[in-house]
Amino acid sequence: MANNSRLKRRLVSGAISENLDLIHGRVPNVERPRRRFLRLSTRGAVWAALVLVLTASTLLISQINRALDQSLAETAKPIVLETLTQRGSSEPTSISLTEPPKINRALFPLGLERVVVDAGHGGINSGTSAPGMLEKDLALDISQRLRDLLKARGFEVIMTRDEDRDVELADRAHIANTARGDLFISIHLNWLGREATRGVETYYLGATLDPIIEQKAIRENQSPGYSLTDFRSLLDGLYRDVRGDESRQLATFVQRSLFRKLSQRSPGLRDRGVKRAPFMVLIGTEMPAILAEVACLSDDDDVELLKQPSYRQLIAQSLFEGIVDYAASLTVPPSPPVHIGASPADGSIAAPSRGSAGGG
């Protein structure tokens, strides 16, 4: 009976509560759990939709980026192949799609007035040697002879050393830069070994894969006067040398003159050519710079010739004429301008020649 009474009271209380809710416009208690469930379901659906949208957007952006990368790769590939074809090379190394065009030197007809002459070695650094001969002494003698020839022609000459003293490689470059030299020429005598062909050769700054030249550079780069902290700047000077073309031109003129004149006196002499080498004495300079190997102390014929002052004078004369030829190339007058309205008889359009002022 007690249980029946409690059940009746609960039912009556529930009915009264529902009636009050209806009178006041409230949702009956039996509906509230349903509304709460609907609200939670709606919120969950919204969040799920947001997650799906973000995921789809990420995938779409990723696909667009991949498509762009593939498109750029396909666009760049023909440019690289075309460049390789034009250069006649099958190796895709050192190809730059943004390589700037070289400046025509004729646009800046600058003269040459100040020459820095560097006699290799000196002091405790004797260089290579032959019986009764030291490289440092021969280099100084030839350098002094070259100095006199240049001065007689009106050039200003700066010597990195004018006596038998040791000058570090960094100091040689500092002397040249402080004097604001227009070119730098370092004079050395070679040692090639009995198995090698005697001859003359001229170097300008650059990297090399030749192990013989690397060994030569290691010997010449002893006691440089640079520290390990300078290594980065040395590499920058080596691989980003804006003077490379002018140094190569200077080396070409000097090498040509050396072989042309010395081979007349020494028929067995060989032209060993113009080469690149990472000589530290060239790295630090701020002007066109070369290193000339003017004779071979490893060769008996060259040693006998070097004993003669006239032959050492001939070497100096050869260096002098190479420098003069290079200086003359800097001031070559430009070709006559090409007028746009004029055309050759065959109807083709004439292109301006190297060094031409151009225009019309």
Angle CA 276–188–161, to nearest 5: 115
Domain check: are 48 and 132 in the same one? Answer: no
103-106, long-range: CB < 8 A, 24+ apart: 104/354, 104/355, 105/245, 105/246, 105/330, 106/332, 106/334, 106/354, 106/355, 106/356
Assigned domain for 155 exists: yes
Closest CA to 308 of 267, 265, 258: 265
Which SS3 state, helix, strand or coil, does residue 229 take?
helix
Q: How far, in Å, CA of 135 to CA of 196, rounded? A: 19
Question: 39, 68, 97 — which closes off a domain?
Answer: 68
The pLDDT of residue 286 is 86
Total domains in the fold of the chain: 2
Question: 42, 68, 94 — which closes off a domain?
Answer: 68
The pLDDT of residue 265 is 95
The pLDDT of residue 197 is 73
CATH number for 278: 3.40.630.40
The conformational region for residue 83 under phi > 0 = left, psi -120 to 50 = alpha, else beta, is alpha
The pLDDT of residue 13 is 65
Assigned domain for 16 exists: yes
Could you list the residue range(s) of the whole structural domain that residue 17 is in?
2-68
Closest CA to 271 of 333, 199, 337, 335: 199
Under a CB-based contact definition with an 8 Å cutoff, are residues 274 and 257 in contact? no
Domain check: are 60 and 143 in the same one? Answer: no
Per-residue pLDDT tens, the chain, 360 aa: give them: 555 666 666 665 666 666 656 565 555 555 555 555 556 566 666 566 655 655 665 556 566 556 555 554 444 444 333 343 444 444 444 444 344 455 555 554 457 899 999 999 999 999 999 999 999 999 999 999 999 999 999 999 999 999 999 999 999 999 999 999 999 999 999 998 766 678 999 999 865 555 665 555 555 555 555 444 444 455 554 444 446 788 999 999 999 999 999 999 998 899 999 999 888 889 889 889 999 999 999 999 999 999 999 999 999 999 999 999 999 988 765 555 544 444 444 444 333 343 333 333
**DSSP secondary structure, 258-300, as one string:** HHHHHHHH-TT-EEEEEEEE--HHHHT-SS-EEEEEEEETTSH
The pLDDT of residue 168 is 94
